């Protein structure tokens, strides 16, 4: 199906005549999404992933260290934490509990979620193809 070019030309002229700068470009991109040529910030995304990996690597051995500390604590409840998640979760509010260990679980969970989301988004962004040459040249005018 062929579109009449007249409405498209009118829409472009309207976008370009009512705004300036970023607003003008955003109006054009809103009407013609194919002209939405945006940076991916590949280096910054990679740097973010590397920092998140470093943070997770730092956290990776902490749960085992806390488990050893709890096992040697002499408190029966703390020896259960490695086998009973509910005891571990409730430990933050108990007098002889190990709130540090539960806080660590939550910290690891949050950091893993942040890392996995960033990794997933970076994977999706990397699949975006380069801009169409004609659209790129049009925007340069």
What does 38-96 look like in DSSP terms, one character per residue? ----HHHHHHHHHHHHHHHHHHHTHHHHHHHHHHTSS-HHHHHTTT-HHHHHHGGGSTT
User: What's the pLDDT score for residue 112?
Assistant: 98
pLDDT tens digits for the chain (141 residues)?
A: 444 445 555 666 665 667 788 988 888 888 888 888 889 999 999 999 999 999 999 999 998 998 898 888 888 888 888 889 898 888 888 777 678 889 999 999 999 999 999 999 999 999 998 888 888 888 887
Structural domain boundaries in the chain: 5-38+130-140, 42-126
User: What's the pLDDT score for residue 11?
Assistant: 60
């Amino acid at each position: 199906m062929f579109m009449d070019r007249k409405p498209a030309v009118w829409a472009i002229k309207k976008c370009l005549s009512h705004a300036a700068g970023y607003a003008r470009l955003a109006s054009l991109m809103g009407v013609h999404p194919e002209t939405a040529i945006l940076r991916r910030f590949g280096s910054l995304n990679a740097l973010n992933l590397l920092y998140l990996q470093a943070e997770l690597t730092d956290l990776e051995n902490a749960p085992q260290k806390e488990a050893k500390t709890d096992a040697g604590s002499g408190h029966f409840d703390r020896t259960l934490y490695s086998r009973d998640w509910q005891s571990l979760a409730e430990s933050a509010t108990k007098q002889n509990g190990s709130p540090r260990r539960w806080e660590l679980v939550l910290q690891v969970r949050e950091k893993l979620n942040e890392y996995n989301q960033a990794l997933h988004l970076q994977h999706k962004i990397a699949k975006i193809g380069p801009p169409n040459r004609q659209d790129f040249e049009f925007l340069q005018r």
